[in-house]
Structure 1
Amino acid sequence: MQIRALMYFDELVRTNSMRQAAENLNVAPTAVSRQIENLEDYFGTPLVERSARGVTLTAAGELLAARAGRTLRELEHVQQLIEDLKGLERGRVTIFANGAIVASLLTPALAEFSKTYPSIRFEVMITSARQAVEAVNSARADMALTLFAPQMTEAKVIARSEITYEVIASSRHALAGRKEVTLRELARHALALPETSFGFRQAFDTAAERQGLTFEPAFTVSALEMLKELVLSDMAATLLPRLSVRRELEAGTLTAIPLASESTIRTHAELSIAPDRQLSFAAAKLSGFIEEFMRSNASR
């Protein structure tokens, strides 16, 4: 079985169209069809069913599709490891990160790292924390940098820094200017909070329960950007680490009020990799650099 056939099949699965797959691969549609037929001959069973609406995977096709992409990514990874053996300080690193941590941690870390390794290229995908960890587990990413990550046992956390949460409100909010605020005081104000699958929300609910408090957020959302927009619009206050709203704090559009000591809430930013996958030179160097960067910027 040729690698080319797997590549063509993987593209067909991704596009669900012989014509689109051929266009993306810069070949004729007959070339894609021929490679699919080669795979079907190899496995001795149909992999796709063709119709005017496109292609549909058979049960065998679904089985192959679930593994073909990972196989191709692993081959690319082996190629990178071979390049490393040649002593070439270059390569490509794929990082999945969730939005809360990109601007304040990942972006400055990559900018500084690139000064030392200008030949290394980066592919950064912004997703949810869960999707970032899943990308590591499926070999679509070399590493995941996450905040609010749900507990998932498959990935290996190689660096963790403690993140302290503060009340984030607009500069016009009634709480603006306070030196600190308790959770009990916060309960009197409209709140926007992440939904309950987020690590922070679970920590918040635990802290509230410990003090005998029940919160009914005015807004429950799954995107950091929406939290910030609600706060900027004076619709609610929220709780976030300073690093996630650093620009808005510097611009004076938002303010951060520390929680009183008995109400303190902390979670962790985490850098994760697959436990059974050797990192390439580029990925290993970057992971070590980010780990040090996280330590030096902890709790900022």
Structure 2
Amino acid sequence: MQLRALMYFDELVRTNSMRAAAENLNVAATAVSRQIENLEHHFGTPLVERSNRGIKLTAAGELLAARAGKTLRELEHVHQLIDDLQGLQRGRVVIFANGAVVANLLAPVLAEFSLRYPKLRFEVAITSAREAVEALAAAEADLVVTLFAPKISGVKVRVRSELTYDVIMAADHPAAGAKELTLRDLVRMPLALPDKSFSARQAFEDVFAKDGLTLDPVFVTGSLEMLKELVLRRAAVTLLPALAVQREIQAGQLTAVPVVSGRAVRTPIDLCVAPDRQLSFAAGKLVDFIEGFMRGADTRKSGRRKAVE
């Protein structure tokens, strides 16, 4: 059995069409069909059923499809390890991140790392926490950075840090000069918050409920950019980690005011890897780099808490 046949089969499964698979592979449709026939001859059983509506996998085809993709990704990983003999002169790292806040925190880290190693390539997917860790377990990702990582076999939390949410407001907001704000202060202000499908929003609800307070945001959105825009236009304040809007704070557009000690919302952020899969040299370096950033964020957070107290 040739590797090419597996590659063609994997593309056919992904596209569900001989023609589309052939176009993506830049070959004739007959070439794809011939490779599928080679696989069927090798396994001694039909793998696909052809019809005018496309192709349908047989039971044997489903079994092969579940393993072919992972096998090809593992071979790509071996290729990456061989590339490591060249040092950080080439290579690709696939990162899955959970949510816009995490992506916004990850972006400056990746930018700095890329400036150090300009020949590397990065692919970043923004998904739910569960989809991210499942991608890692299935060898579709090299590493995952996520909030509230669910426990899944084949995934290890390399380092856990903590995000502290401050009150983010326009720099000229009347409360911008406050040293800290209470939760009761916040419920009196127009709020812009993520919807209840977000883990951070659920954490907000829990913290406010403990003080007998109910959140009634004026704006609810899943877009980090919209949250920032609403705050910049002074229509609302929001709750975000200060690091997520560091650029706007440094530009003097926004400011971050801590929530009164003991009432701040905090959520875990996890850097996850697959314990049974050796990281490529490039991915390993990036993991170390992100870990250093996360531990540094913990140090900065502790220092700020001491200053507030």
Question: TM-score higher than 0.5 here?
Answer: yes
Distance 1:276 1:236 in 2: 46
Task: Please give the residue correspondences for 1:1-300 in structure 2 after superposition, counting only pairs within 5 Å.
Answer: 1-84=1-84, 86=85, 88-89=87-88, 90-98=90-98, 99-104=100-105, 106-146=106-146, 148-154=147-153, 155-171=155-171, 175-298=175-298, 299=300
Q: Classify the secondary structure of the residue corresponding to 1:31.
A: helix
CA positional deviation for 1:171: 4.5
CA contact (8 A) 2:129 2:150 kept: no
Q: After superposition, give the CA deviation of every residue in 1:43-93 in whole Å (9 maximum; x if it has no partner).
A: 333332323333233343333323221111011112222444x46444221
Distance 2:130 2:218 in 1: 24
Distance 1:32 1:83 in 2: 29
Task: Pick which of 211-220 and 178-187 moved more.
Answer: 211-220
Evaluate the alpha carbon distance shift between residue 237 and residue 114 of structure 1 in structure 2; reply closer, same or farther with a 3 A threshold: closer
CA positional deviation for 1:141: 0.9
Q: After superposition, give the CA deviation of every residue in 1:184-243 in whole Å (9 maximum; x if it has no partner).
A: 221223333334454423332222222122223344443433433443454433211011
Distance 2:218 2:152 in 1: 32
Tell me, which stretches of 5 or more residues in structure 1 are unaligned? none
Tell me, which stretches of 5 or more residues in structure 2 are unaligned? 302-309
Task: Pick which of 153-162 and 173-182 moved more.
Answer: 173-182
Letter in 2 for 1:181: L
How many percent of aligned residue pairs carry the same amino acid?
63
Q: After superposition, give the CA deviation of every residue in 1:245-298 in whole Å (9 maximum; x if it has no partner).
A: 122223344332211113212123321111221111111122112211222233
CA positional deviation for 1:151: 3.1
CA positional deviation for 1:174: 5.5
CA contact (8 A) 2:47 2:58 kept: yes
CA contact (8 A) 1:149 1:198 kept: no
Q: After superposition, give the CA deviation of every residue in 1:13-60 in whole Å (9 maximum; x if it has no partner).
A: 222221121111111110111112222233333332323333233343
Q: TM-score, normalised to structure 2's length?
A: 0.84
Task: Pick which of 136-145 and 177-186 moved more.
Answer: 177-186
Letter in 2 for 1:56: K
CA contact (8 A) 2:148 2:267 kept: no
Q: Classify the secondary structure of the residue corresponding to 1:268.
A: strand
CA contact (8 A) 1:168 1:257 kept: yes
Distance 1:117 1:168 in 2: 34
Q: Classify the secondary structure of the residue corresponding to 1:294.
A: helix
Distance 1:123 1:22 in 2: 24
Distance 2:178 2:290 in 1: 34
CA contact (8 A) 1:159 1:271 kept: yes
CA contact (8 A) 2:167 2:238 kept: yes
Query: How many pairs align?
Result: 297
